[in-house]
Amino acid sequence: MSAIRPALLLAAALLALPVHGYAQDSTARTELKRADLTGAPGMEVISSIIEIKPGEEAPKHLHHGVESGYVLQGTMIQVPGKEAAMLETGTPILNLRDVPHAGFKVVGNKSLKLFTVHVVDKDKPLYEYVK
């Protein structure tokens, strides 16, 4: 039940907002592997480790495809206007195509570390930030 609360908190923060512009990437992301998606021309699969340090923000953004992941190291996060909540180690992540997500600050005393896999359009930027 405790892992559900942060997931619901993050889901509540996902608003369909207008696109602010393209971003090249996130400085918090270390790419591990990238490959074309077999049988799906124009799509690619990208695996990464993301580390967001205490005091840093994960800007609200979207991807042109699906992002799946796993919380390797949990910590306290806070969405503006909401109470801080623990995002537990072991929490699964699933963000759908073109749906804004994130938009929180790490307020715990350790970094948030995520393993992510993106299945996205090859001709579009991995991150597109939104207001």
24: pLDDT confidence band, cut at 50, 70 and 90? very low
Mean of pLDDT values over 49-63: 95
What is the CATH classification number for the domain harbouring 43? 2.60.120.10
Cα gap 47→86, rounded to integer Å: 24
Q: Which two tokens stand for residue 79?
A: 């969405």
Q: Cα–Cα distances in Å, from 88 out to 37, 42, 47, 98?
A: 31, 35, 21, 25
Give the residue, 56 or 21, on which the prediction is more confident.
Answer: 56
Summary mean pLDDT of the chain = 85
pLDDT of the residue at 103: 94
Structural domain boundaries enclosing 47: 4-130
pLDDT tens digits, one per residue of 88-104: 999 999 999 999 999 99
d(CA 38, CA 40): 6
pLDDT over 60 (residue 3): no
* CA 92 to chain CA centroid, nearest Å: 11
What is the per-residue pLDDT for 11? 44
The model's confidence at residue 14, banded by pLDDT at 50, 70 and 90, is very low
Split into its structural domains, the chain has a count of 1
As a whole number, mean pLDDT of residues 48-57 equals 96
Give mean pLDDT, residues 121-126: 94
